[in-house]
Amino acid sequence: MAQTAALQSARFGRDAADAADAPSRRAASRSSLALDNLRGIVILIVLAFHSALAYVSFAPAPSDFSSPPYTWRAFPILDGHRFFGFDLFCAWQDVYLMALMFFLSGLFVWPSLVRKKNSAFVRDRLRRLGVPFLFGILIIMPLASYPSYSVTTPDPSVPDYLDKLLALPFWPVGPLWFLWQLAALSALAAGINRIAPKALPALGRWSAGAGTRVGRYFVCLVAASAVAYVPLALAFTPWAWSNAGPFDIQLCRPLQYAVYFFAGVGIGVGGIERGLAAPDGPLARRWALWLAAALGSLALWMGLSALTFERAAPLGAQAAADFGYVLACACGCFFLIAASLRFAAAPSRVLGMLGANAYGLYLLHYLFVVWLQFALLPLPLFAVLKAPTVFAGTLVFTLVSNAALKRIPLGARLIGSARRPLARLAS
C-alpha cells in the first residue's frame, strides 16, 4: 500500500509539474512557429525583391559588361518598362531585410554551440556555408551573369563571355555574399565563446528582458547600430562596395550586420519565448504601432537621403540620413517580427515548407530571376505584370530545382536536409 501511494504521489507530482509547465511550452511553441513562418516570409520577400529590381525607375543606366561601373552587378537586367511602386518596395527591403536575416541566423547559434562545442561548430558552419558558397560562385553565378553580358554585347557568344568573365577584376557573387559573411560571424561567435565563455550567456540574460522592455531594447539596438554604421557610412558612403576575389562587402554595413547577428544570438541564449519574440508580449500586441514606425522612418530616411544626393551635401545632412537608415532598419525588423508573432504563430503548411527549404531557395533563386527577366525583355507588358511573372516563375522553378537537388546525394549534402521546425525542437 505504501509503495502504491508513493507511485500515485509521484505520478500526481509529475502531472502537476506537466500542467504547470504546459503554458510555457505552449508559449515556446507559438514563438517557434512564428519564427519558422517568418523564415518562410523572408525568403518570399527576397525573391520578390530581386524579381522587382529590373523594373525600378531609379536604377542607373546600364554599363558595358567589361567596363566600370559594372552596374549589372546590382541590376543584372534593366527592362524598359518601369514602375515607381517597385522603387518604394525595393528601397524598404534594402533598408532592413538583410539585417533581419542576420538576426534570424543568430537565433540558432547558441543551441549549436552548446551541442557541438566551439571547434565542431566552426567546422560544421564552414562546411554548411562554405561548400554551398563555392558551388554558388562557381556554377550558379556564371550561369546567372550571362544575360547581363548578352544584353550589352552586339554579338554574344559563350567563348567570348567566358573570356570577359575571367578578365573581370572581381568575381561576381550576387546575393551569395551573405553566406561568407554569415560564416565569418559564426566563427567570431565561437571565438568569443572560447575566449570569454561568460560573454554570450551574459548577453542572453540581458536580452531576456526584451520581451517586457521592448522600448529599452529598441533604443539600445538603435544606439549600437548607429555606432556601427554611421561612421563607416560617412567614410565610404552608403552605396560603396569592395571585393577581394569572390568576397563582396558593402563597406558601410558589416558592423551593422554584426550588431543584428549578435542581437539574434542574445535572444537565442535567453530563450525566444522570454525575449523579443515573446508570444502575446508588447511587441506582438503593438504590431500596428511598429508598422506606422516602419513606414514613418522609411519616409524620413528617404527624405533625408534625397538631401545628400547633391555633391556638396553638408556633413550634418549626411549623418542625419545615415542615422535615418539605422532607425528605419530597426523599425522594419521589429514590425516584421511583431506581425509574424501576431498573425503567423500557428502552423502553416506553405510557410513551414518555405522556411524549411529557405537555404536552398536562397542559394538557387538568383539564376531563375535573371533569366526570367531576360526572357521577358522583348514582351510589351507593363512592369506591374512582368515583376509578378518573374516572381511566380522563380518560386516554382526554384522549388522544383531545390527538391530535385536534394534527391541527389551530392546535392543533399550541399544544401542539407530541411531544418527541423523550431516548434518541434521546443516541445
Is the pLDDT at 372 greater than 90? The verdict is yes
* CB-CB contact of 211 with 274 (8 Å): yes
**Assigned domain for 220 exists:** yes
**Assigned domain for 313 exists:** yes
Mean pLDDT in residue range 268-297: 88
- Number of helices (H) and strands (E) in the chain: give both, helices first: 18, 2
**Assigned domain for 106 exists:** yes
Is the pLDDT at 10 greater than 50? The verdict is no
Read off the pLDDT band of 138 (50, 70, 90).
Answer: very high
Mean pLDDT in residue range 316-344: 95
pTM: 0.90
- The Cα 373–Cα 91 span in angstroms is 19
Mean pLDDT in residue range 25-30: 53
3-state helix, strand, coil in the chain (%, to 5): 75, 0, 20
Read off the pLDDT band of 357 (50, 70, 90).
Answer: very high
- The total of structural domains in the chain comes to 1
Q: What percent of the chain has pLDDT over 90?
A: 72
- pLDDT tens digit string along 165-207? 999 999 999 999 999 999 999 999 999 999 999 999 999 998 8
pLDDT value for 367 = 98
Is the pLDDT at 3 greater than 90? The verdict is no
| Highest-scoring range by mean pLDDT, 52-61, 148-157, 324-333 | 324-333
pLDDT value for 312 = 72
Residue with cell 542539407: 416
Of 322, 251, 257, nearest to 97 by C-alpha is: 257
pLDDT value for 417 = 56
Report which DSSP code applies to 208. Answer: G
**Assigned domain for 29 exists:** no
- The Cα 393–Cα 385 span in angstroms is 12
**Assigned domain for 11 exists:** no
Read off the pLDDT band of 233 (50, 70, 90).
Answer: very high
pLDDT value for 29 = 73
Choose the weakest-confidence range: 49-53, 233-237, 244-248, 411-415. Answer: 411-415
Q: What's the half-sphere exposure (Cβ side, CA atoms, 13 Å) at 418?
A: 18
* CB-CB contact of 67 with 225 (8 Å): no
Q: How far is CA 251 from CA 46, 73, 104, 232, 382, in A?
A: 21, 16, 22, 7, 35
How does DSSP assign 36-95, residue by residue? HHHHHHHHHHHHHHHHHGGG-SSPPPP--TTSTT-GGGT-S---S---HHHHHHHHHHHH
Rg over CA atoms, the chain: 23
pLDDT value for 30 = 72
**Assigned domain for 22 exists:** no
**Assigned domain for 252 exists:** yes
> Does an H or E element contain 416, and which?
none
* CB-CB contact of 66 with 152 (8 Å): no
**Assigned domain for 341 exists:** yes
* CB-CB contact of 264 with 107 (8 Å): yes
Domain that holds residue 90: 37-71+85-426
Read off the pLDDT band of 9 (50, 70, 90).
Answer: very low
pLDDT value for 61 = 82
Read off the pLDDT band of 310 (50, 70, 90).
Answer: low
Is the pLDDT at 216 greater than 70? The verdict is yes
Residue with cell 535572444: 267
Q: What percent of the chain has pLDDT over 70?
A: 90
Mean pLDDT in residue range 376-404: 97
